[in-house]
């Protein structure tokens, strides 16, 4: 998966977890957890859904890297194989 595909997937997952989320309005380096007012359960649901959709194990130690669109896209793209 390349970075653009990862970014599109992340936005889809965010929209699934936070219905009505305007992912187009998010800057790529802002903390979307804060911007979308995601509580701990919302964020955990995001992590679980992202893990299911990518097939990646997402350990808790990596959660800080998964709070911005850029961080998530870099993380996912660097850990998935090209299709």
The CATH number of whichever domain residue 55 belongs to comes to: 1.10.1200.10
The predicted model gives 70-83 an average pLDDT of 88
pLDDT reported for residue 81: 72
Q: How many domains does the chain have?
A: 1
Question: What is the reported pTM?
Answer: 0.92
Output the six-digit token pair for 48. Answer: 């679980």
Residue 61, SS3 per DSSP = helix
Q: Which domain holds residue 18?
A: 3-79
CB atoms within 10 A of CB 21: 19
Residue 28, SS3 per DSSP = coil
Task: Decide if pLDDT at 83 tops 60.
Answer: no
């Amino acid at each position: 998966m390349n970075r653009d595909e990862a970014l599109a997937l992340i936005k889809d997952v965010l929209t699934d977890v936070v219905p009505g989320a305007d992912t187009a309005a998010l800057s790529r380096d802002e903390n979307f957890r804060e911007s979308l007012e995601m509580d701990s359960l919302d964020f955990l649901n995001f992590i679980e859904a992202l893990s299911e959709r990518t097939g990646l194990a997402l350990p808790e130690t990596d959660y800080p890297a998964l709070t911005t669109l850029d961080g998530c896209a870099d993380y996912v793209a660097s850990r998935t194989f090209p299709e």
